[in-house]
């Protein structure tokens, strides 16, 4: 649009328009002629032209929409699938841990030749009966993804799995399950009995 046509449109606009003030008054044609040419151009521009001024703000609004890949935007189905995957991984690691401990404790009983010593593992629960030394119960706890232990020496404790270090650890004492069992079994039988887990 040429400069002459733009100002002609502005003059036509100022003759037809009045601006209402906050107190109910108005400013006449003279004051409108002093307004910003750019602002008047927006007011007097055709509808097709005025629509283009909202493009930038619309894009900014669109950019504020949540990212569908973020955790906050994940569907219930996606969260359930991730939870099932974590639970499957936990079950695999916890089962392997208890099976390894069952084999190790059975070997300890044979090494010591104890008559009142018994190891039983079934349904995710490992029970080690050591006669007068007491009984250990070590079991999986799927809802918490933990391994729980009841020790005749230190009492009950819970262990979480550290995937980076590949070890079961106690959040309270920071001691690993393998370290705890090695220390207590070695003290109970007066020897060094290393555990197959850390």
Identify the DSSP state of 176.
B
Which pLDDT does position 19 carry in this prediction? 41
Which pLDDT does position 70 carry in this prediction? 57
Tell me the per-residue pLDDT of 8-29, one tens digit each, with 9 for 90 and over.
455 444 444 444 434 444 444 4
**Residue 127's beta-bridge partner residues?**
120, 137
Which pLDDT does position 31 carry in this prediction? 39
Which pLDDT does position 16 carry in this prediction? 47
Instruction: Identify which of 132, 187, 129 has the alpha carbon closest to the alpha carbon of residue 154.
Output: 187
Mean pLDDT across 96-123: 95
- CA 61, 65, 66 angle in degrees (round to 5)? 160
Cα–Cα distance, 192 to 185 (Å, whole number): 8
Is pLDDT at 62 greater than 90 in this prediction? no
The model's pTM is 0.61
Which residues, 6 or more positions from 94, have their beta carbon under 8 angstroms from its beta carbon?
A: 124, 140, 147, 161
Cα–Cα distance, 55 to 48 (Å, whole number): 12
Cα–Cα distance, 172 to 135 (Å, whole number): 23
Cα–Cα distance, 126 to 140 (Å, whole number): 9
User: How long, in residues, is the chain?
Assistant: 198
Tell me the per-residue pLDDT of 132-191, one tens digit each, with 9 for 90 and over.
999 999 999 999 999 999 999 999 999 999 999 999 999 999 999 999 999 999 999 998
Which pLDDT does position 71 carry in this prediction? 55
Instruction: Identify which of 139, 116, 137 has the alpha carbon closest to the alpha carbon of residue 127.
Output: 137
Question: Within 13 Å of residue 10, how many CA atoms lie on the same side as its CB?
Answer: 20
Is pLDDT at 52 greater than 90 in this prediction? no
Instruction: Identify which of 43, 63, 62 has the alpha carbon closest to the alpha carbon of residue 53.
Output: 43
Sign of the alpha-carbon torsion through 11, 12, 15, 16: negative
Cα–Cα distance, 92 to 70 (Å, whole number): 28
Of 7-11, 69-73, 93-97, least confident by mean pLDDT is 7-11
Which pLDDT does position 114 carry in this prediction? 86
Answer whether 117's CB lies under 8 Å from 109's CB. Answer: yes
């Amino acid at each position: 649009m040429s400069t002459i046509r733009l100002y002609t449109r502005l003059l036509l606009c100022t003759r037809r328009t009045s601006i209402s003030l906050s107190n109910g008054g108005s400013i006449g044609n003279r004051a409108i002629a002093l307004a910003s040419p750019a602002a008047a151009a927006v007011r007097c521009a055709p509808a097709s032209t005025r629509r283009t001024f909202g493009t930038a703000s619309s894009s900014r609004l669109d950019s504020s929409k949540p990212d569908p890949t973020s955790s906050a935007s994940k569907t219930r189905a996606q969260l359930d699938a991730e939870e099932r995957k974590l639970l499957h991984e936990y079950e695999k690691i916890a089962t392997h841990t208890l099976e390894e401990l069952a084999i190790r404790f059975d070997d300890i009983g044979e090494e010591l030749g104890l008559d009142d010593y018994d190891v039983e593992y079934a349904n995710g629960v490992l029970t080690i009966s050591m006669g007068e030394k007491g009984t250990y119960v070590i079991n999986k706890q799927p809802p918490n993804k933990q391994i729980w232990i009841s020790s005749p020496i230190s009492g009950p404790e819970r262990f979480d799995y550290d995937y980076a270090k590949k070890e079961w650890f106690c959040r309270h004492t920071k001691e690993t399950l393998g370290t705890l069992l090695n220390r207590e079994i070695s003290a109970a039988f007066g020897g060094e009995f290393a555990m197959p887990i850390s």
